[in-house]
Amino acid sequence: MSEPVLSVKSLVKTFGSVTAVDDVSFDLMPGASLGIVGESGSGKTTTARILAGLERPTSGTVTLDGRPAASRGRRARLRQAGLLQMIFQDPYGSFDPRRTVAQSVEEPLRLHSGGSARDRAARVAELLDQVGLSARAGDSLPRDLSGGQRQRAAIARALGIRPRVLVLDESVAALDVSIQAQILTLLDELRRASGISYVFVSHDLAVVRYITDTAIVMRHGRVVERGETERILRHPRHPYTRLLLDSIPSPGWDPGRVAGDRRALDA
């Protein structure tokens, strides 16, 4: 039995009197893909940000590759970043607007693996090719790329240092359907080829079904259901999971009944 690459135990995060994340635990095995499903205020993004070291938990532990993740100290942060990378909904905010995409993709390579400029250039070319970006796109500024191309660039940059875990926070939510499908199939291929693990944070159950094996459903900071993604979708146990499923439009959909169910659940 192999060890989980990422292990989260009893995570709690409070902001003042608000408890955003309330006793969340899960394990992620190498090569596995875990979905975190929830609506706004569920605590799913706060959980993701704790994993990436962007927030410090109030209590609880995050263990990365057998060692506790610490957000203090340059060395510890560097090790953590080498193991776990995060991709956001809008990659535009995470690229330096004055640098070409290739320069941005190269930067983490210089920080983490060093090597000669020629080696790095070769690796950048390889990465861009892997995510389906042309050399011309690599020489462009972020603003000259489409949303889908920018998301590809963000994936290339995150993959450069060969992390074990990729945390994707609503990473395809802002994309057109046809582009979203391109990114989802790309992510699927990358995982099969490299054995990387995903934590995929999303409100979209259909997308989560496609890209994950297991999932947790969060509501008001707590995990209300967990299990294999396919089982959760076919035989939801928690009324909130059922409500989420019923909220997805389909032929014969009755939004009035869904609204009634939601009020009953909130009461």
Residues of this chain that interact with other proteins (CB under 8 A) are 39-40, 146, 148, 176-182, 184-185, 203, 205-207, 209-210, 230, 233, 243-253, 255-256, 258-259, 262
Question: Is 229:32 a contact under the CB 8 Å cutoff?
Answer: no
Give the residue with the Cβ less far from other proteins, 141 or 181.
Answer: 181
Give the residue with the Cβ less far from other proteins, 10 or 146.
Answer: 146
CB of 265 to other proteins, least distance (A): 9
DSSP annotation of 220: T
Contacts of 205 (CB under 8 A, 6+ apart): 37, 233, 244, 245, 248
122 vs 97: CA distance, rounded Å: 23
Helix intervals (H) in the chain: 44-51, 74-83, 101-112, 117-130, 135-138, 147-159, 177-194, 205-211, 229-234, 239-246, 255-266
CB of 204 to other proteins, least distance (A): 8
Give the residue with the Cβ less far from other proteins, 3 or 176.
Answer: 176
CB of 159 to other proteins, least distance (A): 19
Give the residue with the Cβ less far from other proteins, 117 or 177.
Answer: 177
Would you call 18 helix, strand, or coil by DSSP? strand
Question: Is 47:98 a contact under the CB 8 Å cutoff?
Answer: no
Give the residue with the Cβ less far from other proteins, 81 or 154.
Answer: 154
CB of 3 to other proteins, least distance (A): 29
DSSP annotation of 216: E
CB of 215 to other proteins, least distance (A): 12
What is the per-residue DSSP string for 153-194? HHHHHHHTT--SEEEEESTTTTS-HHHHHHHHHHHHHHHHHH
Give the residue with the Cβ less far from other proteins, 66 or 256.
Answer: 256
CB of 197 to other proteins, least distance (A): 20
CB burial of residue 15 (10 Å; 0-12, 13-18, 19+): exposed
Give the residue with the Cβ less far from other proteins, 99 or 191.
Answer: 191
Question: What token pair was written down for 244?
Answer: 């989420």
CB of 51 to other proteins, least distance (A): 22
267 vs 251: CA distance, rounded Å: 28
